[in-house]
């Protein structure tokens, strides 16, 4: 009877998730890491064969996350709210479609200015390998602002001759849809769009579909914002692509504001986020 009573008491104790012993162990991690100098944290990461590049904020988060994961994995029955931190992909995605549109623009855009997509790059990012598996890329010929401004050419590197011979958005979008079908995206494989801030969806894709008479795709109604993920996970203030790369100890590869190169650098950041234990969530 006494044994049964003790078991019942133990069960009641654990029925309150926050009373689980794991929480006490995890709370000790912060004080443990705070006492370390940044160079000591980097040495700890090297001992674990983990990336030690990045700002002090980044490497501390990386080390804390690794300690948290080790502690949670060591428990045979962690609370569900802690166990979910063991997976970075609770959405069950097979792929991310990384997009970074380039669009028509002026040095100073009028209030009623409509941005038209002139570069349509998409990278197929494999969630299992954390690598780029394939890509779709096309330039688009604008309808409203057929002549690119000098500012736009200088910013994006896209030449007038490239858009002059390119198909219009409606054709490009159909080619992209065909490419998605060939990759069995949405039929056999789950996916989500990944962008650097909402601009690509709200200011580019949505108005462009309306302008071209193309039905706005359901899969674009929600997406993953890497800038938001980065800020929330590493507990840093919001920053652009260059800021995120710098914080991770990386340098931009390629040409900035080239849509395809921007997307490739977003993929590099995404790969590190997943390696560091960031949990994917929709915007």
User: Any idea which residues carry the catalytic annotation?
Assistant: 102, 257
CA distance 160 to 144: 14
Q: Where are the alpha helices (DSSP H) in 16-101?
A: 21-34, 38-47, 56-74, 80-83
Instruction: Give the tokens for residue 146.
Output: 């057929």
Secondary structure class of 147 (helix, strand, coil): coil
Task: Provide the sign of the torsion angle of the four alpha carbons 262, 263, 269, 272, taken in this order.
Answer: negative
Rg of the Cα atoms in the chain: 23
Which residues, at least 6 apart from 280, have a Cβ–Cβ distance to it below 8 Å?
88, 89, 90, 91, 93, 192, 224, 229, 274
In the block, residue with structure tokens 């896209």:
158
Q: Which residues of 252-281 are buried (b: 16+ CB within 10 A; e: fewer)?
A: eeeeebbbbbbbbbbbbbbebbbebbbbbe
Give 99's strand partners.
122
In the block, residue with structure tokens 């190169």:
261
Strands 117-126, 102-103: pairing is antiparallel
């Amino acid at each position: 009877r006494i044994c049964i009573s003790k078991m019942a008491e133990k069960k009641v104790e654990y029925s309150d998730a926050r009373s689980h012993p794991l929480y006490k162990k995890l709370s000790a991690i912060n004080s443990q890491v705070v006492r370390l100098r940044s160079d000591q944290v980097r040495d700890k990461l090297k001992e674990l064969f983990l990336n030690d590049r990045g700002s002090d904020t980044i490497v501390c988060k990386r080390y804390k996350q690794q300690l948290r994961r080790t502690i949670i994995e060591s428990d045979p029955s962690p609370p569900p709210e802690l166990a979910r931190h063991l997976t970075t992909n609770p959405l069950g995605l097979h792929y991310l479609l990384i997009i970074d549109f380039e669009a028509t623009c002026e040095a100073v855009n009028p209030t009623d200015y409509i941005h038209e997509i002139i570069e349509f790059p998409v990278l197929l990012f494999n969630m299992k390998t954390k690598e780029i598996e394939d890509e779709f890329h096309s330039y688009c010929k604008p309808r409203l602002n057929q002549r690119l401004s000098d500012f736009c050419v200088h910013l994006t590197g896209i030449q007038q001759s490239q858009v002059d011979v390119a198909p219009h958005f409606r054709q490009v979008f159909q080619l992209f849809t065909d490419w998605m079908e060939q990759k069995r995206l949405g039929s056999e494989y789950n996916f989500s769009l990944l962008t650097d801030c909402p601009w690509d969806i709200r200011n580019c894709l949505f108005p462009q579909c309306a302008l071209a008479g193309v039905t706005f795709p359901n899969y674009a109604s929600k997406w993953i914002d890497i800038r938001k993920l980065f800020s929330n996970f590493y507990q840093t203030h919001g920053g652009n692509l260059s800021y995120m790369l710098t914080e991770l100890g990386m340098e931009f590869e390629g040409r900035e504001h080239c849509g395809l190169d921007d997307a490739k650098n977003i993929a590099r950041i995404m790969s590190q986020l997943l390696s560091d234990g960031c949990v994917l969530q929709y915007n």
